[in-house]
């Protein structure tokens, strides 16, 4: 076999293709050729890439600074023989590792789903005989026969075809079936325009064809997508990146402070054992043991909330990523649009009619110049509708209260429009039954049908504007009279409709055919009467228009990436509001696949920032677009439903697949599924994601002052040369009980008003902003003063060390309780957001109070934690110190709000 498999097959003639493949079109390959080529090229299957083993994948879940800190805490508690606390920490680490392992393992299944998408059979010619074989046995040079309903088994160069139409939406994003034909194409023809090629995994919707296999397995276009999926990076989410940086910083801070504390204590004359235990207490106090559990649980709660709004989350971190999204790259067909072709304009009898209603529901009105029109009273309009209804093979049925289509979506739109005018095929079954037809052929660009009986007959014809007008000599006037054809005016009308993104079809008729003759092309070669033009489009979803508006208000840019034509895509973008948004319309650039291909990576980064619509985009170009946007620091959400979308879905920070129309490949590569395939669901998910991120920040703002305060207390005691106010085991009690019963209750905090009215969070903004950091230090200092002061005061009054430590522990716990109500909103008072709007907080506080009473008064707890009972006077001081924390933070929030409003 000649080494020409790297050729641009669409640019070779049929004879050259046969010669290059060393096969014959009438007999195909013989058995010996097949065996040799199977050895050379392998089976027609997708090769699964070797990834990390399951054991390595699981162990990598522990390769994080925060996990190192937690493991260190577990080792310390084990050293202290506090097996319950150590077990809890080990359990937190293990649960987080298992969850991460499961989610990451699922992502790898995208390639497996892609391999399954190629499983099918093929009809081939081998040794001159027609055979049906498993598609995996195909080799380059095989001659494949295609017919309606077949899945294309490999990449084929078409040798011959008749009325062939192929649905390539999963590969190119083209919203309607593509009309295919053999013949030579220019060398630089884009993938979506290669009409002489049939690609693996696409579907034949109409016609028949013969093609030669030019690529199998990994060499096919869908195989190349497999390579793109494997090469796409799985990016860390904004939160995980920030927590990783914060954890690394915290690790060094703890080690540094521990070393300083140990050295200072030794210089003051303390024993090394005493200082070692002080450093252990410092480390245990500074480690936020509850943070990983809080992150996981808060994200899981976000998952449940999103599921109620038709968004299924496959990977937990995706919840938080949604809240940080700055750009949404959305597919057009089915997501922003309804994926139901709809006739919107008809030009007939010199008038332009607008038709309301969308989709396949046969409901809508006809208007002319803003006034309602009844089609039955307008002869030209009625005849144009009848022509579209009868010169048509599509069937529109109502199944389970939903309108479904059998046949071509374009023809279905013509049927629905006729029904809006109360016209049905059954009405013409007696007078105008179909007698013969000329199916659509690419070389003629029209379809014709013969109707009538022995007394009279009529031919209806529909097709491309140029093809139909070339065969017309007359036109039907508004009153139904035949008048001279004005071609220039009709061409201008067609161009105006096409400029709006409408797909325009022309209609004509003739009555000169004899009823006993078969319909032939010569019968419609000229002398026809022009009936009108019908312009249709896949209309935008009304809810998508509203969702785009909300996204704009939230500072989120929406970009359309589609395989459709630029004019159509731009028209839809204008209707949805992507182009006419303030500050964009004057700078908006529509890029097509050829433009993108010509740009370098650096040039593309600048181009994607100013562009809104990307049309005729190939799979690898979608991937480049996502990478270019990420290079500018954007958090990118990418939607898609086809095989061609999978690489970009996996590369994006948040991949969103369609749950209804999406392929398994797209679903497996995505982080989130939309059960209703609706763009507005993305907006709802982003809203929930912002709420989740807010609650995570609230938890971090609440929990870190405790760790900081505990560290301050230990260091202050060492520097002052006094006994530790709290012991390591008491620190563990504070951290573990309050994190679960108090901090986690913030995960249930409702979203604050106006959450979609603010700009997206800057991905470069640190986890601890200046505002949050200063508050954490302030509260940590107040806890230090309250607990250390209470400890020293009780010792000064003659209380035992155990009783003094009990008071210090309770200052921490009750200080956290009061501070919890501060953290329900980082800007507003709890009375403004509603005292009872989160009943989980009240329940957590109640359980914490119960545990603290047991901690303080139960003899068994005295033995386990070294505590003693205290009196009412001590409780009064504890509550006073805790209430001071609440008052100080509320005043601080009030000052910040006043200063920001003045700015």
Q: Other CB atoms closer than 10 Å to residue 26's CB: what's the count?
A: 8
**Annotated catalytic residue within 167, 331, 408, 564:** 331
Q: In the beta sheet, which residues pair with residue 337?
A: 540
Q: Are strands 351-355 and 557-561 parallel, antiparallel or unpaired?
A: unpaired
Q: Is 16 a catalytic residue?
A: no
DSSP structure class, residue 192: G
725 contacts 804 by C-beta, under 8 angstroms: yes
Q: Name residue 134's beta-bridge partners.
A: 121
HEC secondary structure over 530-553? EEEEEEEECCECHHHHHHHHHHHH
Contact 279, 258 (CB under 8 A): yes
Whole-number Å distance between alpha carbons of 109 and 314: 12
CA distances from 656 to 624, 626, 638, 677, 799 (A): 17, 13, 6, 10, 62
DSSP symbol at 332: I
Beta bridge partners of 614: 561, 591
Euclidean distance between CA atoms 715 and 260, whole angstroms: 9
Q: Which residues pair with 348 in a beta bridge?
A: 351
Cα-Cα-Cα-Cα dihedral of 701, 702, 704, 708, to 10°?
Answer: 120
Long-range contacts of 510-515 (CB under 8 A, 24+ apart): 510/458, 510/459, 510/461, 511/456, 511/457, 511/458, 511/459, 513/450, 513/457, 513/458, 513/459, 514/457, 515/435, 515/452, 515/453, 515/454, 515/455, 515/456, 515/457
In 10 A of CB 327, how many CB atoms? 23
Burial degree of 443 (CB within 10 A; 0-12, 13-18, 19+): exposed
Contact, 767 vs 700, CB < 8 A? yes
d(CA 765, CA 836): 32
SS (H, E, C) 206-255: EEEEEEEEEECHHHCHHHHHHHHHHHCCCCCCHHHHHHHHHHHHHHHHHH
Cβ neighbour number for residue 98 with a 10 Å cutoff: 12
CA–CA dist 202, 152 (Å, integer): 6
Report d(CA 19, CA 887) in Å as an integer.
87
State phi, psi for 836 to the nearest 5 degrees: -110, 15
**Rg (alpha carbons) of the chain, rounded to whole number:** 36
The C-alpha atoms of residue 167 and residue 198 are separated, in whole angstroms, by: 10
Query: Residue 217 in contact with residue 46, Cβ under 8 Å?
Result: yes
Contact at 8 Å (CB) between 283 and 89? no
Q: Which residues contact 188 (CB under 8 A, 6 or more apart)?
A: 594
In sign, the C-alpha dihedral spanning 9, 14, 18, 24 is positive
C-alpha distances (whole Å) from 615 to each of 224, 332, 569, 605 are 20, 10, 7, 17
Angle, to 10 degrees, between the axis of helix 542-553 and the axis of helix 566-576? 70
User: Active-site residues: which are they?
Assistant: 331
């Amino acid at each position: 076999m000649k080494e020409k498999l790297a050729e641009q097959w669409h640019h070779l003639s049929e004879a050259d293709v046969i010669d290059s493949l060393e096969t014959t079109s009438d007999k195909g390959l013989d058995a010996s050729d097949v065996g040799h080529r199977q050895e050379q090229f392998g089976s027609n299957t997708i090769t699964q890439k070797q990834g990390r083993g399951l054991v390595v994948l699981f162990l990598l879940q522990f390769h994080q600074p925060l996990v190192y800190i937690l493991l260190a805490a577990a080792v310390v508690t084990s050293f202290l023989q506090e097996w319950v606390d150590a077990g809890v920490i080990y359990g937190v680490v293990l649960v987080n590792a298992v969850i991460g392992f499961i989610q990451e393992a699922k992502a790898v299944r995208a390639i497996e789903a892609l391999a399954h998408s190629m499983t099918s059979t093929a009809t081939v010619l081998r040794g001159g005989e027609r055979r049906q074989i498993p598609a995996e046995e195909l080799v380059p040079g095989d001659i494949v026969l295609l017919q309606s309903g077949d899945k294309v088994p490999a990449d084929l160069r078409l040798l011959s075809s008749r009325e062939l139409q192929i649905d390539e939406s999963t590969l190119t994003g083209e919203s309607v079936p593509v009309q295919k034909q053999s013949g030579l194409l220019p060398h630089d023809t884009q993938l979506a325009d290669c009409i002489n090629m049939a690609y693996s995994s696409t579907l034949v919707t109409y016609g028949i064809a013969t093609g030669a296999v030019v690529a199998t397995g990994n060499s096919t276009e869908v195989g190349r997508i497999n390579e793109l999926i494997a090469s796409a990076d799985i990016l860390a989410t904004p939160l995980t990146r920030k927590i990783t940086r914060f954890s690394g910083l915290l690790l060094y801070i703890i080690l540094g402070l521990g070393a300083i504390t140990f050295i200072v204590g030794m210089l003051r004359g303390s024993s090394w054992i005493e200082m070692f235990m002080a450093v252990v207490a410092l480390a245990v106090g500074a480690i936020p043991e509850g943070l990983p559990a809080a992150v996981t649980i808060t994200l899981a709660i976000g998952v449940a909330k999103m599921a109620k709004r038709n968004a299924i989350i496959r990977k937990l971190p995706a919840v938080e990523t949604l809240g940080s999204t700055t750009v949404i790259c959305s597919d057009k067909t089915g997501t922003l649009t309804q994926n139901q072709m709809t006739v919107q304009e008809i030009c007939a009898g010199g008038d332009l009619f607008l038709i309301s209603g969308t989709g396949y529901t046969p409901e809508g009105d006809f208007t002319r110049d803003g006034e309602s029109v009844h089609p039955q009273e307008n002869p030209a309009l009625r005849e144009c509708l009848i022509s579209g209804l009868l010169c048509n093979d599509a069937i529109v049925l109502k199944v389970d209260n939903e309108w479904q289509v059998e046949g071509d979506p374009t023809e279905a739109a013509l049927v629905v429009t006729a029904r809006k005018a109360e016209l049905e095929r059954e009405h013409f079954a007696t007078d105008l039954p179909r007698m013969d037809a000329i199916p659509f052929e690419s070389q003629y660009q029209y379809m014709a049908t013969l109707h009538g009986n022995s007394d009279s007959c009529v031919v209806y014809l529909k097709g491309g504007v140029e093809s139909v007008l070339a065969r017309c000599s007359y036109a039907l006037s508004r009153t139904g009279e035949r008048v001279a054809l004005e071609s220039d005016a009709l061409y201008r009308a067609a161009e105006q409709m096409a400029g709006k993104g409408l797909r325009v079809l022309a209609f004509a008729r003739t009555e000169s055919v004899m009823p006993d003759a078969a319909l032939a092309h010569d019968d419609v070669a000229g002398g026809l009467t022009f009936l009108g033009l019908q312009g249709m489009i896949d209309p935008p979803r009304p809810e998508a228009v509203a969702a785009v508006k909300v996204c704009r208000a939230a500072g989120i840019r929406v970009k359309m990436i589609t395989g459709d034509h630029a004019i159509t895509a731009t028209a839809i973008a204008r209707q949805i509001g992507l182009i006419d948004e303030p500050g964009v319309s004057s700078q908006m650039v529509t890029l097509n696949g050829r433009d993108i291909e010509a740009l370098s990576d650096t040039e593309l980064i600048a181009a994607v920032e100013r562009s809104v619509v990307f049309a005729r985009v190939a799979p690898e170009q979608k991937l480049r677009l996502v990478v270019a946007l990420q290079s500018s620091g954007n958090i990118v959400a990418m939607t898609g439903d086809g095989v061609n979308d999978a690489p970009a879905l996996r590369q994006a920070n948040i991949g969103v697949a369609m749950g209804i129309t999406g392929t398994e490949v797209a679903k497996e590569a995505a982080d989130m599924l939309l059960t209703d395939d609706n763009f507005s669901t993305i907006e709802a998910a982003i809203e929930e994601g912002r709420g989740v991120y807010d609650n995570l920040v609230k938890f971090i703002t609440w929990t870190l002052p405790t760790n900081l305060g505990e560290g301050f207390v230990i260091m202050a005691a060492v520097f002052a040369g006094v006994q530790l106010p709290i012991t390591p085991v008491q620190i563990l009690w504070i951290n573990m009980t309050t994190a679960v019963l108090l901090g986690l209750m913030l995960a249930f905090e409702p979203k604050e008003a106006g959450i979609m009215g603010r700009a997206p969070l800057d991905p470069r903004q640190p986890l601890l902003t200046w505002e949050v950091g200063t508050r954490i230090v302030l509260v940590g200092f107040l806890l230090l003063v309250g607990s250390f002061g209470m400890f020293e005061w009780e010792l000064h009054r003659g209380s035992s060390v155990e009783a003094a430590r009990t008071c210090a522990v309770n200052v921490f716990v009750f200080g956290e309780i009061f501070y919890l109500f501060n953290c329900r909103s980082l800007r507003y008072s709890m009375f403004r957001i509603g005292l009872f709007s989160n009943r989980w907080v009240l329940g957590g506080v109640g359980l914490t109070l119960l545990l603290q009473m047991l901690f303080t008064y139960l003899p068994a707890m005295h033995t386990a934690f070294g505590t003693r009972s205290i009196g009412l006077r001590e409780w009064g001081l504890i509550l006073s110190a805790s209430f001071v924390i609440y008052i100080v933070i509320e005043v601080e929030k009030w000052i910040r709000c006043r200063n920001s409003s003045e700015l």
